[in-house]
Structure 1
Amino acid sequence: MSRNVWKYIVSILILFGLIFLLRSITIEQNWNYQRVPPLYKVQNWIQSSNLYGSLLRFHRNRTCPHLGQPPSSEEELEERNLLDSIDWPQPPSGSAPPALTQTSDPAHSLFTIVPSQNGQRWYVGDQLEVQVHLHDFNGRHKRYGGDLLLARLHSPKYKAGVAGQVLDHKNGLYSARFPLLWEGSAQVGLTMVHSSEAVAVLRRMREKQPDRVYFSSIFRRGSHSEKMECNVCLLQDKGPLCNFTDPHSGDQWYCYKPKMLSCDTRIDHAIGGYLENLITKKESLLFKSDVNLKVPIHASTTDTINVLPARNESSSQKPGPVQLGTSGYYYQDSWRPFGGITMRRFDEASAITKCLTNKLVYMYGDSTLRQWFEYLLTVLPELKEFNLQSPKKVGPLMAVDSTHNILLEYRFHGPPTRIQPIRVSKLRYIANELDGLAGGPDTVVALGIWAHFSTYPVEVYVRRLRHIRKAVVRLLDRAPETVVVVRTANPQALTQDFILFKSDWFSLQLDVVLRVMFKGLDVLLVDAWQMCLAHPYHPHDLHPPRTIVQNMVDMMLSHVCRDGTKKIV
């Protein structure tokens, strides 16, 4: 056979090999894509994103990802889909940002209750729909979406409330939908948290200025000490770095290297401060309290309806609460969750003690989870706190009821933590702590981590949650009867001074990511977002009031102890 024929045969074989390889890659990519769970849908805007490219540009200028554990191809695909799926509609591009008068103004905006199919008669089991019309400061109708709106239906008389689902029609019109779950009066509440123009500023801050909250550590040997800046990612041109990436979990942390000391002389961690003058005076007008920052939108006519008892006719064609994305509602100040859990009230200390007897309860997370520890400490008289010589707001904290063999432990998550100085030896990553637990039917684990990640690209949060999720899977694999509870993010009070560091828009995006990443695992999700949003009279707060905290803890206890306590009726 001639040499040319052999060359032809070899070329054909190579071509077929390439085709097979490309087809295999495509099949693998499609398979991986299908394994990414669908996102918890918030505000009906899902479109292609350029956020991933922005994150890559961000990381090219900072030391960060290439020193950590590289993600697998499946993890990269999950990450890209998460980032794409939480993208937010942006105002129309132009040569310059619009003037304040052209931005959303809640005072000129209004909402209207859509009449029911029976005129003005609503029944328990029906769905209430509200149309929201946004206008600018000149009273002109907005022509694009992207505003952050929050909605609830509530009744102070019955201490009842439920969160609404807001749909963005991307033309200045929004719909809010609520399941009708109790008889009597129900009042609609609509709030514009941010205009679409303000969200655009927040987006830019998150992508371009993730170091606007900075941290520090003291390095010390003998009488000589140096204070150095630290963060998840640091600029590469400001000096050599100390790499404190955790070798087990892969969680990343860096500090600039001291001039006279070695990296192993680091003794503490603390928040350094907040950068100032991050936006222009024109942009600052988008974040004015009582003007366009978390301001109510009023009804065009009435904001209240009367709900009649449920009809006997079948309502199978109507969307139920779960279909509307509703996780539960309040009635008489008690949270009533959907999704299969039987909610019980633990009003007496004896009921809580009975539930937790012979239990080891480990709480890992931020200060919003520390509230659970503090609540149990105040309601259980036989629970005695150990003095671990730790700051109360930082921990670690521990309490024991030796009579009933109850151990309660709280530990703050690892950096980034915006807290007072704490010894490095007391800072632990959640993934490592979980890997140190034996687990079992008498072990309860509660997790809550979100508030300290609001200033970073979402990619940073995704990777931290991924490490925690892997540790949860390992824990449940070796001890399937372990109870794991995850607390979500919650809306909070917003002020002009800290809006660029703490915003409901940041929190909402993290909340969506958290829900997706724990979806499908055998964990209980305590929906702090809806529990705070739906409450009939408490204002939003980073640290929710005791009434809400009690309902959260009661939900956890209801899951831990499925029998033996009084059911809510």
Structure 2
Amino acid sequence: MIQVSLWLVNQRNFLVTVLCRDEDSSLIMKVRPSTRGGVSICLPKYSIIFLFPAVFGFIFVLRNMVFLKFQFQHKVNFTMIYPRVSTHRNMHDSFCTFQTPSTKDALEERLLLDSIAWPETSILQDPLSLEQTSDPAHSSFTILPPGRGGGEWRVGDQLEVMIQMYDFNGRPKTSGGDLLFSRLHNLKLGAGVAGQVVDHLNGSYSAVFSLLWEGSLSHQVTLVHPSEAVTVLRRLTSEQPDRVYFQSLFRSGSLSETTTCNVCLRPTQQPLCNYTDLRTGEPWFCYKPKKLSCDARISHSKGGFKQNLKAKEEKLFQSGVNMKVSLQASGPASVTVWPKKKGQPEVKNSSVKSGPSGYYYKGAWQALDGTTVQQFNTSSAISQCLKGKMVHLYGDSTIRQWFEYFRAALPDLKEFNLHSPKQVGPFMALDYANNILVTYRCHGPPLRFVNVPATELRYIANELDGLTGGSNTVVVIGIWSHFSTFPMELYIQRLQSIRRAVVRLLVRAPDTLVVIRTANLKALTLYETLTNSDWYSLQRDKVLRAVFKGLNVHLVDAWEMSLAHHLPHSLHPQPPIIKNMIDVLLSYICPQKGG
């Protein structure tokens, strides 16, 4: 007996398997449904002579039917007739669609997800009992004594701070997972440096610093979120990745309709418009209008936000109570640092994995990666550096800030009126005398901007593929904030797509300067936390750095530059911080001779 199984792998591919068995020959055909959607047919073994022509004839007809359907869908902008089947690999109840990664990209994705794994913390009671969660008022930090005789701190030493977390009942926490930030600063000196926080997974933490300047300095520890709040943020992304939703306006003549759009659309009987980018594979979908075709889409905008917290979970996100609240010191909160002695050995701490990327001193950023950060304090200094350059800025509103900085700092940089939306762009400015061109374009969806023309929804990778590149070309990329509510897989795949385009650009034009702007901290309200918490940003910041590590690109470390500064955190950092970021960028473009 011969068993033939016909499988429909996808719309355009089929798999036929033939299994030979020694069974009792029977002239009766046995057909049974497959557990995976195929059909298994058992026939007498000599019947295979007649079956193969029939099977392949069936395949030929069906393939042509699918091909015609595919052509028709392409003509109507990939309207999907049936609810979409999720391809997401991790979510239990998934309705997010991602492109299928290559084996190499899938392995990298898995390693990246493992690298940002956060300690598991369960909500102790349902409804929540706030008393058992981390309380900054009961918690404290202690500066450990210096690791040398004499009790003196010297420039070059390592300073370590121990942090112990307690709950609202004053009991020590016994698990980790709190999100804590730490820094050393001296306001009078305009000095500040971010510390690395180490979670010991037992309620205690360490903050480790390099002592980089002499004088007095104070230590600050901030509880951004208790571990229980992080658990809620993780659950929201898993269960409600569509809590930020989008809309598109469709119009033809006097008829117009608005439908919901997203990369995560809950399945209904309503057909979908598939706007997946053909070059990058980036997915995007809208529910199809009832009376209009998918080709009638004219704009994209943020639709709204659905807040779905469980009972009392809002208590985990209270400003001044348990969200971005400073801890008190158990003992002195300040130390005095003396100049480094000749021949003084540095105190090394085994818990230090990596040092800071830089620090502020007298209000100016000092890089520790070997880059000499120059001060470009005048328009003439900036113009001289950018002379003959084309600077292309791609990303979100934190990159748009840089375009606005150049417009304000360079009186001769005249902006063309492209009649672009103020928030969205694209923007272009030219200093004709100095041959300077500066452009800005926002990244593709998900994009929480208002009223973006559909024709301006461009993906960064495609834009990079359109650049010639060369020594006169500067590319700046900043993409993180708008991905906060979505599964990390979506962000990883977007960065992988951009990285491939960066590699192609550097292959054809190795002298092109590519700069990546990292994420930064922001002020947090309940809404801001549920859509763009610092925890979400931290996770994406780690992934961003890892994806571009090893490439011939430069980083502007917006994360440390916002954490180390004394100014309040803001999604759009204040002018002194932006000025320091631009100084770093210009120092990459015009490195100091001999530096």
TM-score range, shorter chain: 0.7 to 0.9
1:450 equivalent to 2:480? Answer yes
Task: State the AA in 2 paired with 1:364.
Answer: Y
Task: State the AA in 2 paired with 1:129.
Answer: E
* Distance (whole Å) between structure 2 residues aligned to residue 224 and residue 507 of structure 1: 41
Q: Counterparts in 2 of 1:76-95, with a 5 A limit?
A: 76-92=106-122
Aligned mate of 1:543, from 572, 575, 582: 572
Q: Tell me how far 1:460 sits from its aligned partner.
A: 0.6
Q: Tell me how far 1:226 sits from its aligned partner.
A: 0.7
Query: Residues 534-567 of structure 1: CA distance to partner in whole angstroms, max 9, x if unpaired?
Result: 01x20110000111111111101101111369x8
Q: Tell me how far 1:120 sits from its aligned partner.
A: 3.4
Q: Tell me how far 1:96 sits from its aligned partner.
A: 4.2
1:150 equivalent to 2:201? Answer no
TM-score norm. by structure 1 comes to 0.87
SS of 1:62's equivalent?
coil
Q: Counterparts in 2 of 1:403-414, with a 5 A limit?
A: 403-414=433-444
Alpha carbons of structure 1 residues 256 and 403: separation in structure 2 relative to 1, 3 Å: same
1:183 equivalent to 2:203? Answer no
The aligned residue for residue 582 of structure 2 is: 553
Q: Tell me how far 1:348 sits from its aligned partner.
A: 1.3
SS of 2:529's equivalent?
coil
The aligned residue for residue 343 of structure 1 is: 373
**Is the contact made by 2:158 and 2:347 (CA closer than 8 Å) also made in structure 1?**
no
SS of 1:229's equivalent?
strand
* Distance (whole Å) between structure 1 residues aligned to residue 530 and residue 96 of structure 2: 24
Alpha carbons of structure 1 residues 82 and 322: separation in structure 2 relative to 1, 3 Å: same
**Is the contact made by 1:450 and 1:489 (CA closer than 8 Å) also made in structure 2?**
yes
Point out where structure 2 has 5 or more consecutive residues left out of the alignment.
Answer: 1-85
Q: Counterparts in 2 of 1:494-513, with a 5 A limit?
A: 494-513=524-543
The aligned residue for residue 61 of structure 2 is: none
**Higher Rg:** 2
Q: Tell me how far 1:233 sits from its aligned partner.
A: 2.0
Query: Residues 126-145 of structure 1: CA distance to partner in whole angstroms, max 9, x if unpaired?
Result: 01111101000011100100
* Distance (whole Å) between structure 1 residues aligned to residue 223 and residue 472 of structure 2: 45
The aligned residue for residue 64 of structure 1 is: 97
The aligned residue for residue 124 of structure 1 is: 155
1:489 equivalent to 2:515? Answer no
Query: Residues 282-311 of structure 1: CA distance to partner in whole angstroms, max 9, x if unpaired?
Result: 111111110001100010122100000012
* Distance (whole Å) between structure 2 residues aligned to residue 299 and residue 194 of structure 1: 19
Q: Percent identity?
A: 55
Task: State the AA in 2 paired with 1:227.
Answer: T
Alpha carbons of structure 1 residues 418 and 261: separation in structure 2 relative to 1, 3 Å: same
How large is the RMSD of aligned CA atoms in angstroms?
1.9
TM-score norm. by structure 2 comes to 0.83
**Is the contact made by 1:90 and 1:146 (CA closer than 8 Å) also made in structure 2?**
yes
* Distance (whole Å) between structure 1 residues aligned to residue 250 and residue 523 of structure 2: 36
Aligned mate of 2:253, from 214, 222, 232: 222
The aligned residue for residue 13 of structure 1 is: none
Alpha carbons of structure 1 residues 207 and 371: separation in structure 2 relative to 1, 3 Å: same
Which structure ranks higher in relative contact order (CA pairs < 8 Å, sequence separation ≥ 6)? 1
Q: Counterparts in 2 of 1:340-379, with a 5 A limit?
A: 340-379=370-409
Q: Tell me how far 1:317 sits from its aligned partner.
A: 5.9
Query: Residues 5-44 of structure 1: CA distance to partner in whole angstroms, max 9, x if unpaired?
Result: xxxxxxxxxxxxxxxxxxxxxxxxxxxxxxxxxxxxxxxx
**Is the contact made by 2:155 and 2:337 (CA closer than 8 Å) also made in structure 1?**
yes
The aligned residue for residue 557 of structure 2 is: 527
More strand by share: 2
Point out where structure 1 has 5 or more consecutive residues left out of the alignment.
Answer: 1-52
How many residue pairs get aligned? The number is 509
Aligned mate of 1:173, from 185, 204, 213: 204
* Distance (whole Å) between structure 2 residues aligned to residue 357 and residue 371 of structure 1: 21
1:265 equivalent to 2:296? Answer yes
1:473 equivalent to 2:503? Answer yes
SS of 2:91's equivalent?
helix
**Is the contact made by 1:63 and 1:236 (CA closer than 8 Å) also made in structure 2?**
no
**Is the contact made by 2:123 and 2:231 (CA closer than 8 Å) also made in structure 1?**
no
Q: Tell me how far 1:312 sits from its aligned partner.
A: 1.4
Following superposition, which runs of at least 4 residues in structure 1 exceed 6 angstroms of deviation?
Answer: none
Task: State the AA in 2 paired with 1:110.
Answer: S
SS of 1:353's equivalent?
helix
- Structure 1 stretch 337-346 or stretch 465-474: which is displaced more? 337-346
Q: Tell me how far 1:313 sits from its aligned partner.
A: 2.3
* Distance (whole Å) between structure 2 residues aligned to residue 322 and residue 112 of structure 1: 18
**Is the contact made by 1:329 and 1:531 (CA closer than 8 Å) also made in structure 2?**
yes
1:389 equivalent to 2:419? Answer yes
Q: Tell me how far 1:60 sits from its aligned partner.
A: 6.2
The aligned residue for residue 49 of structure 2 is: none
Task: State the AA in 1 paired with 2:157.
Answer: D
* Distance (whole Å) between structure 1 residues aligned to residue 592 and residue 213 of structure 2: 27
* Distance (whole Å) between structure 2 residues aligned to residue 426 and residue 204 of structure 1: 33
* Distance (whole Å) between structure 2 residues aligned to residue 60 and residue 136 of structure 1: 33
Task: State the AA in 2 paired with 1:561.
Answer: C
Alpha carbons of structure 1 residues 92 and 271: separation in structure 2 relative to 1, 3 Å: closer
Q: Tell me how far 1:322 sits from its aligned partner.
A: 9.2
SS of 2:366's equivalent?
strand
1:114 equivalent to 2:144? Answer yes
Query: Residues 316-335 of structure 1: CA distance to partner in whole angstroms, max 9, x if unpaired?
Result: 56369995331000000100
**Is the contact made by 2:518 and 2:558 (CA closer than 8 Å) also made in structure 1?**
yes
Q: Tell me how far 1:342 sits from its aligned partner.
A: 1.5
1:400 equivalent to 2:422? Answer no
Q: Tell me how far 1:237 sits from its aligned partner.
A: 2.3
**Is the contact made by 1:179 and 1:321 (CA closer than 8 Å) also made in structure 2?**
no
* Distance (whole Å) between structure 2 residues aligned to residue 406 and residue 542 of structure 1: 28
Alpha carbons of structure 1 residues 440 and 351: separation in structure 2 relative to 1, 3 Å: same
SS of 1:438's equivalent?
coil
Task: State the AA in 2 paired with 1:464.
Answer: R
**Is the contact made by 1:322 and 1:338 (CA closer than 8 Å) also made in structure 2?**
no
Q: Tell me how far 1:236 sits from its aligned partner.
A: 2.1
**Is the contact made by 2:244 and 2:531 (CA closer than 8 Å) also made in structure 1?**
yes
**Is the contact made by 1:167 and 1:175 (CA closer than 8 Å) also made in structure 2?**
yes
Task: State the AA in 1 paired with 2:136.
Answer: P
Query: Residues 494-548 of structure 1: CA distance to partner in whole angstroms, max 9, x if unpaired?
Result: 012332111000000000000000000000011100000001x201100001111
- Structure 1 stretch 160-169 or stretch 418-427: which is displaced more? 418-427
* Distance (whole Å) between structure 2 residues aligned to residue 330 and residue 63 of structure 1: 42
Q: Tell me how far 1:93 sits from its aligned partner.
A: 7.2
The aligned residue for residue 35 of structure 2 is: none
* Distance (whole Å) between structure 1 residues aligned to residue 458 and residue 272 of structure 2: 21
* Distance (whole Å) between structure 2 residues aligned to residue 502 and residue 519 of structure 1: 24
Task: State the AA in 2 paired with 1:64.
Answer: T
**Is the contact made by 1:54 and 1:207 (CA closer than 8 Å) also made in structure 2?**
no
* Distance (whole Å) between structure 1 residues aligned to residue 106 and residue 349 of structure 2: 35
1:422 equivalent to 2:455? Answer no
1:562 equivalent to 2:591? Answer yes
Q: Counterparts in 2 of 1:92-103, with a 5 A limit?
A: 92=122, 96=126, 99-103=129-133
Q: Tell me how far 1:234 sits from its aligned partner.
A: 1.1
Query: Residues 182-212 of structure 1: CA distance to partner in whole angstroms, max 9, x if unpaired?
Result: 0101100100000000000000011111101
Query: Residues 215-240 of structure 1: CA distance to partner in whole angstroms, max 9, x if unpaired?
Result: 00001111101100000121222521
Alpha carbons of structure 1 residues 274 and 151: separation in structure 2 relative to 1, 3 Å: same
**Is the contact made by 2:132 and 2:168 (CA closer than 8 Å) also made in structure 1?**
yes
* Distance (whole Å) between structure 2 residues aligned to residue 321 and residue 295 of structure 1: 25
SS of 1:234's equivalent?
coil
